[in-house]
Amino acid sequence: MSDTEIKLARIALTMLAEPGTRAVYRLVARHGPVDALTMTLAGEIRDQPTREAVQARLGAGDPRPLAETALATGERLGARLVVPEDDDWPRQVSALEHIQLPGADRRVDRELAPPLCIWVRGEWPLAEAFDRSVAIVGSRASTQYGEHVATDLAYGLAEREWTIVSGGAFGIDAAAHRGALAAGGLTIAVLACGIERAYPVAHTALFDRVAETGLLITEWPPGADPLRPRFLIRNRVIAAATRGTLLVEAAARSGATQTMRRALALRRRALVVPGPVTSAMSVGCHEILRQHASARLVTNVSQVLEEVGRIGSDLAPVPQGPQRPRDQLDDQASFLLESMPRRGAISPDTVATRAGVDIRTALRKLTLLEALGFVIRRDGGYALVTTRRRAATEDDPP
Amino acid sequence: MSDTEIKLARIALTMLAEPGTRAVYRLVARHGPVDALTMTLAGEIRDQPTREAVQARLGAGDPRPLAETALATGERLGARLVVPEDDDWPRQVSALEHIQLPGADRRVDRELAPPLCIWVRGEWPLAEAFDRSVAIVGSRASTQYGEHVATDLAYGLAEREWTIVSGGAFGIDAAAHRGALAAGGLTIAVLACGIERAYPVAHTALFDRVAETGLLITEWPPGADPLRPRFLIRNRVIAAATRGTLLVEAAARSGATQTMRRALALRRRALVVPGPVTSAMSVGCHEILRQHASARLVTNVSQVLEEVGRIGSDLAPVPQGPQRPRDQLDDQASFLLESMPRRGAISPDTVATRAGVDIRTALRKLTLLEALGFVIRRDGGYALVTTRRRAATEDDPP
């Protein structure tokens, strides 16, 4: 069975049933994606609501050629597809296999299976990008206070080499992405539609910036619309892929509090920023703190680090040595890094020429190297980071 | 041994050692106040620092005539002295016998014995006034947000017949007292100096209003100065006499957080109002919530009631029927209540004449009856409360 067959089968399955559908996930887990697709097409799904939903979608045509088109479209858009068969798959999302939300009476609160595949725009290896990551979520109708706090925390965490994950929405999500970008850090926007859809449209430029230095990801194939329930379906991935979820501002029973409930059910760190009790935008935050003993009130970056810095019991142990060793860099980034002078700054042009990399790529890679803490901007150029900290955790180049 | 002898001995002891001194309290508990005073005067106190402090104060003269003067002065000022031998003593303060503060390295954090006596200005029976009480404490340098929330919560709790206890200071304390007064409720200011000292002076009028419908109380005899450590000594009484302590705004390690630590150590309800993480005045609140699992975040009156409404395991069970039965009212209030018409409102003048009470007293007692929920203001006068609630918990008058 070729990689492409596997990928096409997984894509087709996300076209036949919404991501998260347990019946489909179980079929894939038992029979592999290709046979699971054959069985699904043949109506061999036990769960009746799922079988009926699949049947209805089959009315739109055979999903197999559509999947081929989607894969080609994705490639054309500069998006790649990552599947669980890849080394680059973020394994921690498999915690979703066993998640159970208390009092789940809606379908979206029960169909919480792990993703079948993830579309990725941006150059970071997916698993590595999620390795030391924190979700920052909150209300779209945020206040100035909430946005200030979200930006500040995202900036501080990104500065300390934590990836900021959010949903790309207005308000707190956007503040979190922007804070991470301002720190030259890594941020991931998890979309609820096709990778090519800038939703909301006003965030087109923001998404381009995110993809430039971080990642845009989604479970849905190109062309998928940002339908309302998909935001809630998407939220389980934000909760599962990160070390912890930080709720900044949320109205009662908002989408962001739902992400938090998923994080709590997954035993990920559940961190909450309080706010004025007079603000409707903090009601959801205070409710989470009141209802869940394991939710933790946090007020600054070091308190967040104190929580997510611990290795969660249901997360694979994270190596405590070099977090992002050089040998995980791609060729161009490695060449650039090796072309840097041991002391002093160098202009991007000069290092690009030395490394044999075109200037546009060099600028992008240097931003990435900066976000990783290998280089810093200095004297109008870039310089190697040679702090005691970096030296202590990583061997010097030969 | 006469009541007066007992009172004079207790007053004299508070002159020889600061209230809360364990060595003195133990002597009183073992030998009674009169013998304890004799022993203290004879230097028969084991604890060396206490013995030396007593010796130093004895230099100011024999405390026994000073105690007599104090008692006479108190009477002249309209203040009475309540002692543990009285029925009217708030028994719950004896929880202080066993309190231990974690990491108590200062003397004020260790000398936390129950009060020896309490000076009272105002007409409410002391024990009854504290029966259903909540402390509201916080910073003197409060923000508008904190004052708004303190006023609001005090108003709502007072309206539901809870006594609001605070320290009479600027900021949150004053807001709490004012909120209770605005609701026509009962409020108690616990002072850290002589009952005649309006401290801060700017609160002279506030204290008069508090004494008019509620209580001013203190452990210190008339003439005692509001010395800095006394505020901290006083705080243990606020924590011990109430069902719970509600912290509204507090800087890190402020006096109000100290009251909270005492409430926590006493296993009283420890309730905390969060605020913006950007506000220095909420740092102490957030720290308490982060450090103490038993501290509870609250945002409104009903959440406070949910907590203090439960009967604490170390508080005497509170009768769930009539909270303040009529037979605990004084004669004038009883006569006024019995002179009220069964239906419709009556003017204060008319009911005063019917009851044979002078109009000024009648107005004061009607305010009190209103605070107790027996009467309400209506049509420019007062009417009996005959709601289902009151009817269900109390027998109708014959």
For residue A389, give the CATH number of its domain: 1.10.10.10
For testing the chain B interface, which of A273, A277, A303 should be mutated: the one with the most B CBs within 10 Å? Answer: A277
| Per-residue pLDDT reduced to its tens digit, B322-381 | 344 565 677 777 778 878 887 788 888 888 877 777 787 788 888 888 877 788 888 788
Task: Give CA–CA dist A135/A172, Å, rounded.
Answer: 11
Does B119 lie in the same domain as B39? no
Give the pLDDT confidence score for residue B113 in this predicted structure: 98
pLDDT exceeds 70 at position A311: no
Give the pLDDT confidence score for residue A331 in this predicted structure: 72
Q: Which two tokens stand for residue A192?
A: 């609820």
Q: Is residue B211 included in any domain, yes or no?
A: yes
Task: Give CA–CA dist B103/B291, Å, rounded.
Answer: 14
Of all residues in chain B, the one with the smallest CA distance to A288 is B297
Q: How far is B273 from chain A (nearest CA, A)?
A: 7
Does A295 lie in the same domain as A338? no
Give the pLDDT confidence score for residue A391 in this predicted structure: 34
- In DSSP notation, A352-388 reads HHHHT--HHHHHHHHHHHHHTTSEEEETTEEEE---H
| Per-residue pLDDT reduced to its tens digit, A138-164 | 999 999 999 999 999 999 999 999 999
Q: Which two tokens stand for residue B193?
A: 């100096």
Does A291 lie in the same domain as A194? yes
Q: How far is B290 from chain A (nearest CA, A)?
A: 6
- Mark which of B11, B40, B66 sits at the end of a domain: B66
Contacts of A303 in chain B (CB under 8 A): 290
Does A304 lie in the same domain as A334? no
Q: Is residue B264 included in any domain, yes or no?
A: yes
Give the pLDDT confidence score for residue B328 in this predicted structure: 64
Number of structural domains, chain A? 3
Give the pLDDT confidence score for residue A385 in this predicted structure: 81
CB spacing of A277 vs B148 below 8 angstroms: no
Q: Is residue A289 included in any domain, yes or no?
A: yes
Task: Give CA–CA dist B371/B366, Å, rounded.
Answer: 8
Determine whether B180 is exposed, middle or buried from the number of CB atoms within 10 Å of its CB (0-12, 13-18, 19+): buried
Task: Give CA–CA dist A132/A371, Å, rounded.
Answer: 13
Strands ordered across the beta sheet of B345-346: B345-346, B381-384, B375-378
CATH of the domain at A240: 3.40.50.450
Does A209 lie in the same domain as A167? yes
Contacts of B276 in chain A (CB under 8 A): 145, 274-276
Q: If we measure between CA atoms, which residue out of A115, A132, A172 comes closest to residue A148?
A: A172
Does A172 lie in the same domain as A29? no
Does A383 lie in the same domain as A357? yes
For testing the chain A interface, which of B142, B281, B285, B297 should be mutated: the one with the most A CBs within 10 Å? Answer: B297
Identify whether the C-beta of residue A33 lies closer than 8 Å to the C-beta of residue A11: no
Contacts of A282 in chain B (CB under 8 A): 274
Give the pLDDT confidence score for residue B213 in this predicted structure: 94
CB spacing of A275 vs B273 below 8 angstroms: no
At a CB cut-off of 8 Å and minimum separation 6, what does A374 contact? A326, A337, A384, A385, A390
Give the pLDDT confidence score for residue A326 in this predicted structure: 62
| Per-residue pLDDT reduced to its tens digit, A193-243 | 999 998 999 999 999 999 999 999 999 999 999 999 999 999 999 999 999
Does B341 lie in the same domain as B298? no
Overall size of chain A counted in residues: 398
pLDDT exceeds 80 at position A91: yes
Does A286 lie in the same domain as A147? yes
Q: Is residue B297 included in any domain, yes or no?
A: yes
Under the banding of pLDDT at 50, 70 and 90, the label for residue A338 is confident
Does B373 lie in the same domain as B283? no
Helices (H), chain B: 3-16, 22-41, 48-58, 63-76, 126-131, 144-159, 172-182, 204-213, 228-241, 255-265, 283-291, 301-308, 331-338, 348-355, 359-371, 388-393
| Per-residue pLDDT reduced to its tens digit, A359-398 | 877 887 888 888 777 888 887 888 888 643 333 333 333 3
Q: Is residue B76 included in any domain, yes or no?
A: no
Q: Kind and range of the H or E element at A334?
A: helix A331-338
CB spacing of A299 vs B293 below 8 angstroms: no
Q: Is residue A81 included in any domain, yes or no?
A: no
**What mean pLDDT do residues A58-86 have?**
95
At a CB cut-off of 8 Å and minimum separation 6, what does A312 contact? A243, A244, A267, A268, A269
Q: Is residue A188 included in any domain, yes or no?
A: yes
Domain range spanning residue A221? Answer: 107-308
Q: Is residue A99 included in any domain, yes or no?
A: no
B148 against A311, higher pLDDT: B148
Does A366 lie in the same domain as A243? no
For testing the chain B interface, which of A143, A297, A304, A307 should be mutated: the one with the most B CBs within 10 Å? Answer: A297
- Mark which of B258, B279, B308 sits at the end of a domain: B308
Q: Is B45 helix (H, G, I), strand (E, B) or coil?
A: coil
- Mark which of A13, A34, A65 sits at the end of a domain: A65
The identity of residue A274, as a single letter, is P
Residues on chain B bordering chain A, Cβ-to-Cβ distance under 8 angstroms: 145, 148-149, 273-278, 282-283, 286, 289-290, 293, 296-300, 303
- Residues (pLDDT < 50) of chain B are 312-324, 387-398
Residues on chain A bordering chain B, Cβ-to-Cβ distance under 8 angstroms: 145, 148-149, 273-278, 282-283, 286, 289-290, 293, 296-300, 303
Does B118 lie in the same domain as B24? no
Q: If we measure between CA atoms, which residue out of A395, A393, A367 comes closest to residue A382?
A: A367
Contacts of A276 in chain B (CB under 8 A): 145, 274-276
